[in-house]
Each structure stands twice: as structure tokens, then as C-alpha cells.
Amino acid sequence: MKKMSFVLILSAVLILMVSASTVLSAKPVLKVGTSADFPPFEFQDEKTGAYLGFDIDLIKAIGAEAGMEVKIVNTAWDGLIPGLLTGNYDCIMSAMTITDERLGSVAFSDPYFSASQVIVTRSDDSSIKTVEDLVGKEISVQIGTTGDIEASEIEGATIKRFNLAPDAIQEVRNKGVAACVIDFSVAEEISKQYTDIKFGEPFTEEYYGIAINKNNVELLNKINEALASVKASGKYDMIFEDWFSIN
């Protein structure tokens, strides 16, 4: 009987110790929504399924700085803002351009990357160089992106909208459209794999920001502080080098 209660007490103590230590060591989780179809910013390793890219490394560095553990939630691009507003995740890290329209529904961190749109065409097509050359043409875009917004303003153009960014570029190779309007670094990254497409000069000025729910001012401040530290410590430059060095 004595032995029995000793064992009981001992196991109770052990259980308490284990649960106390998990509570103490568990970092708060930062749930991050992303559309992992946008190399080199966010994409999945074909073999392991791991999330990789500049944005992924940067948000992990920001999380580490803020003492939070980052958990990636892969979500279709056009569902990202609705998902943030419903609370599926705490922020969006997805090469998302800060636009006035988006600022109507979400808050953005300080800008973390300067970007631009470019026109992707077939390599053997010398007729399209500028936006003016796209008048009346068929153009592919990722649905709801700034590329979509830019292309939709072109007179007489027919817009083919794709859920996934790589599919919009693929449509140029398939000769389904004359051109694709997409973010410069993504055009650059994807066209590395193919010789039959090329891209032109950047024609917009955009800045990526981390989108956060407007009522979560605490997180917005935390992320801005952590981003500033990651920049000041040289960590930002290291990550930039990893993904955008010319070598």
C-alpha cells in the first residue's frame, strides 16, 4: 500500500514537471499565411515538401528575433487576405505588394523588398517590349495580383487569370497568350529553367510588406521592431545574398 502511494505521488510529480517544462519552453506560435507558388520568395521543395525561399527565411528570422516559432500555412493566393481576416493565421508573408486597395482591409509592416512588374514573352517574339505593345493582346496573370491590375488597365487586352503564378508563365510557352505580366524576380527565376521565354524592363515601382490584421497593433509593432533588428544585424543582407546573389 505504502509502495503504491509512493509510485502514485512520484508519477504525479513527474507528470507535473513534464507539463510545466513544455509550457515554459513552448514559444508562442506565429502562424504565417503564404501562397507557395512564387519562387524565389516562397515555394515548396519538390521532394521534401518543405517551404523555402527569401520570404520564408526572412519571416523565420523575424520570428526568431521576436521569440516566436513560425508555422507556415500554405493558402491559395486569392484566399490569403480573406484567410487573414477570418483568423486562419496571424500574418501574410507572400511577396505581397503594399497597395492602397489592400490597405483598406489589412495593415502592412514596413516595406521589406522593392519590386516591379515585367512582361514575359517568347524568346523569338521581338514585337513586345513595352506596355503599349500589349494593347489588344492576350495576357496571362496570376489572379488578383498587381500584375492582374496592371494588365487589366491595358486597352483592348484580354486577360487570362491563373490561380498559380507558374501556370501564368507556362501559358506564354504554350502560346495561349502573347505575354505574362508578373513580378520581376519571379520572371527571372522561372525563366532560368527555359530558353524559350524572356522578360523585359521593370515598369512599376512596388514594395512588399507583411500583411497583418488591422486590429492586431501589438503584432504589427512586434514585426516592425523585429524586421528593423534583422536589417540592422546584417541578417537581412545574408538572406538576400542567399537568394539573389548573381553567382
Applying CB under 6 A, which residues contact ligand ARG? 35, 37-38, 42, 77, 94-97, 142, 145-146, 165, 183
Taking the mean position of all CA atoms in its chain, how far away is CA 25? 29
Buried b (16+ CB within 10 A) or exposed e, 1-21: eeeeeeeeeeeeeeeeeeeee
Which of 68/92 has CB closer to ligand ARG? 92
Which of 97/121 has CB closer to ligand ARG? 97
Cβ 189 to ligand ARG, closest distance in Å? 12
Which of 38/243 has CB closer to ligand ARG? 38
Which of 51/77 has CB closer to ligand ARG? 77
Cβ 140 to ligand ARG, closest distance in Å? 14
CB 69 within 8 A of CB 27: yes
Cβ 38 to ligand ARG, closest distance in Å? 3
User: What is the C-alpha to C-alpha distance for residues 162 and 142, in angstroms, rounded to an integer?
Assistant: 5
Cβ 151 to ligand ARG, closest distance in Å? 12
